[in-house]
Structure 1
Amino acid sequence: MAGSPHTAAPADLALVPRAELEADPHAVLARHRAAAPCIRTDDGVVMLLRARDVQALVTDPRTRQVETEFARARGITAGPLYEFFRQTVLLSNGEVHRRRRAPIARTFAFQVVAALRPRIRAIAEGLVDEHRSRGRMNLLADYAAPLPARAIAMILGLPEEDVPAFTAWVYAMSRALTSAWGPQDYPEADEAAHRLMTYVEDLVAERRRAPRDDLISALLPSIAEDDPDAAAEARMQIVSLIVAGSDTTRAALAIQAGLLLAHPDQWEAVRRDEALIPGAVAEALRFEPAVGSFPRFALAEIPLEGAVLPAGALISISTLSAMRDPALYADPDVFDIRRTDHPRWHVVFGGGVHRCLGEALARIELEEGLRALTRLPDLRLERPLTVRGSAAIRRVEELPVAWVVG
């Protein structure tokens, strides 16, 4: 992330180039975590490293979620992509955050989402059956991408044939939320934001003419026809659901499969015993998370053990580092699906009022996605799993897999 006039980093912290972090994030974070609670990066961010501090500050009232500062720090100051940053529930605080979150929160309650499990299982099994006779696929593009996209389409009432188009827009937009963002990405991301917003606006208009039994229709009362600004904000939460429901779970699905297939004994254990699936999902989310950090601002000076976060610091709360912290996990660099020391509230989903709204849905998609893959005989990697990124949304390279047909 580029620097911003609101960012202040303590001068005595170790300065770590972002390029060094990107090259080998786990090793770099482990080395610095042992010496200090935080580092500063050469793009103006203070990165919080230790599990104890990460767990505390994610709900600390002396911090707040970043808002449009995130966009401005990346040179995004106007246009559709900026409007997404300005109006999304993902980057808001206080009463504004409550107003944006409330209409959609009930749909993603644990009990409500649990009832969707059979339909999500059917989507996962259907995808496996689509590719079974081929004997190979790109697990990221052919399986991990369409599964959560089809699930969010089902919930919102989007036509399945629209999935390729809206996921392409999502992937272009969400690049602005990764540590790999550069000015060259702006034109495509801005155009994608425009297309996705127009798509949602058209869907809302269509549901007004002919309501259905879906989430968009259920949200119509909260989309004020006589207040264009309020209506645009309400529609943006539908855009936010499409973005959040399509991208990070795509990466997490590919990561968990890649990790398990790289540990054949644990893959075979999961194939033999479905009761191990939730633990396998939790461990994959810990060991190689799809989201590496949460951005926050320090509203006041915050003392830590060995450092002080100054007021106004732009903070990267590093889940990537916290979930490899030996103070929280035994043997944190060992991938172990039978691990028993996971905290009750998984660190990867954040905490407090900003805890991931789609946590229950993501867990079900990951569990059912893994269960369906175990039906493919002798499934194997054709290329090792590669996950890149030291913060925010991380990136997964193509993951070709093959299996025995017959």
Structure 2
Amino acid sequence: MTATDTAAFQPDLYAYDFENDPVPTLNRLRAEDPVHWSRHGFWYLTRHADVAEVLKDPVRFSSMAAGWGGGNPLAKAGGDQSATEKGLSRTLAQSFNQMDPPEHSRIRLLAQAAFSRRNIEDRGPRIRAVIDELLDDLAPRGRFDLVGDFAFHVPMIVASEIIGIPAQDRDAFRQAFERTAALMAPKRDEESWAAALDAGRWVGRYIRDLVEARRADPREDLISDLIRAEEAGDRLSDPELRSAISTIYTAAGTTTERMLSSGLWLLLSHPDQWRALVADRTLLGGAIEEILRFHHPTQSTSTNRRATEDVVLGGRTIRAGDTIRVGLGAANRDPAVFAEPDRFDIRRRMGGPVLAFGAGPHFCIGSALVRFEARLAFEAVMDRWPDLRLVTTAPVKDPRRPDRYQEIVVALA
């Protein structure tokens, strides 16, 4: 890539201002520079067709990206990496999200049984009980925060139970896991980077110790299932197993958390559509898909891809070895696919597939669980409080975690 190839419009895709209000920037990139060479050293794609092409083609666009260029901040230090950074880079490389078939398929197949439709539906009564217990506790308050008081807890409890994280460890694990997210963005300061590295070490030790505990005393959880599969002859190394647990926790936990709070915000901020949904629950399936289309939490990044050969997209030549990231939120607002894409409409007739969960071999393993939990949560809230109203009318993203809102306060009628 040379200076003459760099577009004049160079937004900071990690800036808080961008994450807080990404639509104007994404719309401009899609219109002016849809195959964008970013200031961060990777290609950023915003058109639906280009994004889908990259996601569905693991041959020309490889997911084995952990050690490559601008896609991974941990890799940028090169030979200057600390022992902890090198260890975390190796752990990232063992995640099945960072693998191509057949290795990716092998590990994913072992994990996906926990996310089968039958398994998820069997968990329905427990998930609804978790939701109802939280809402019971919130009812006397009169008002509460959809993010911190509700959406934050439901999927973390469910994900921890699926994986096998004991109840007494849930909060500590979640807090440490969240702090590690800073390692996937450019280093802002030494203090926060050091805190994220400490959290990464803690998470690694915790998962290692939990795996060993389950080897000695198996339970009815995903960790024990993976260990049993390994002992039955399915090849799964310890690093692969530990990395798979982290990946699954993200898919089953943080993804759903953002869906619940953002989804309820969107519905309540469009009161005519909220009332229609309260009156006609058959609209709920379409509402969930429209929420997924309209609000993708992380606008700036995706799992990295690396070009394995020179590829021309949108008139730009992506060279072999270049890192690519796809804008899922931008693709879901592409006017070439979705009419009036910046309008929220639970009755929308989709013009193409919503890419919120990706596409191709890396389609999100937790997608069915996210939809199922969202349906149960939305139904529970509507059943109790059909006249729920927003107190927070202009929520902002959390500066510490700009993939979610900082606070959305609601009041009970």
TM-score range, shorter chain: 0.7 to 0.9
1:356 maps to 2:355 = no
Judge conservation of contact 2:396–2:407 (CA < 8 Å) in 1.
Answer: no
| TM-score, scaled to structure 1 | 0.87
Which of residues 286, 297, 301 in structure 2 aligns to 1:279?
Answer: 286
Where do 1:213-232 residues align within 5 Å? 213-222=220-229, 230-232=237-239
1:380 maps to 2:393 = no
Cα distance change of structure 1 residues 39 and 239 upon mapping to structure 2, 3 Å threshold: closer
What letter matches 2:62 in structure 1? R
1:39 is matched with 36
Cα drift, residue 181 of structure 1: 6.4
Residues 69-122 of structure 1, C-alpha deviations (whole Å, 9 max, x = no match): 314345484425334323222222233323432321222223332332232222
* Mean Cα deviation higher: 60-69 or 8-17: 8-17
1:326 maps to 2:299 = no
1:49 is matched with 46
- In structure 2, C-alpha distance between the alignment counterparts of 1:332 and 1:10, rounded to whole Å: 32
1:34 alignment partner, SS class: helix
1:140 maps to 2:139 = no
* Mean Cα deviation higher: 76-85 or 265-274: 76-85
- In structure 2, C-alpha distance between the alignment counterparts of 1:378 and 1:312, rounded to whole Å: 54
Judge conservation of contact 2:35–2:316 (CA < 8 Å) in 1.
Answer: yes
1:394 alignment partner, SS class: strand
Cα drift, residue 172 of structure 1: 0.9
Cα drift, residue 395 of structure 1: 3.2
- In structure 2, C-alpha distance between the alignment counterparts of 1:396 and 1:44, rounded to whole Å: 28
Judge conservation of contact 1:84–1:193 (CA < 8 Å) in 2.
Answer: no
1:11 is matched with 5
Q: Which runs of 5+ in 2 are unaligned?
A: none
Q: How many residues align?
A: 392
Which of residues 228, 243, 248 in structure 1 aligns to 2:255?
Answer: 248
What letter matches 2:320 in structure 1? A
Judge conservation of contact 1:50–1:321 (CA < 8 Å) in 2.
Answer: yes
2:348 alignment partner, SS class: coil
Judge conservation of contact 2:259–2:370 (CA < 8 Å) in 1.
Answer: no
What letter matches 2:323 in structure 1? L
- In structure 2, C-alpha distance between the alignment counterparts of 1:186 and 1:286, rounded to whole Å: 32
Cα drift, residue 388 of structure 1: 4.6
1:303 alignment partner, SS class: strand
Cα drift, residue 381 of structure 1: 2.0
Which of residues 299, 303, 306 in structure 2 aligns to 1:297?
Answer: 306
Cα distance change of structure 1 residues 22 and 147 upon mapping to structure 2, 3 Å threshold: closer
Which of residues 60, 63, 73 in structure 2 aligns to 1:62?
Answer: 60
Residues 182-218 of structure 1, C-alpha deviations (whole Å, 9 max, x = no match): 6543222222222222222232222233222222221
**What do you get for the CA RMSD once the two structures are aligned?**
2.8
1:337 alignment partner, SS class: coil
Judge conservation of contact 1:9–1:44 (CA < 8 Å) in 2.
Answer: no
Which of residues 368, 376, 387 in structure 1 aligns to 2:376?
Answer: 368
| TM-score, scaled to structure 2 | 0.86
1:150 is matched with 157
- In structure 1, C-alpha distance between the alignment counterparts of 2:46 and 2:387, rounded to whole Å: 39
- In structure 1, C-alpha distance between the alignment counterparts of 2:109 and 2:402, rounded to whole Å: 25
1:336 maps to 2:345 = yes
Cα drift, residue 161 of structure 1: 3.0
2:122 is matched with 115
Judge conservation of contact 2:357–2:364 (CA < 8 Å) in 1.
Answer: yes
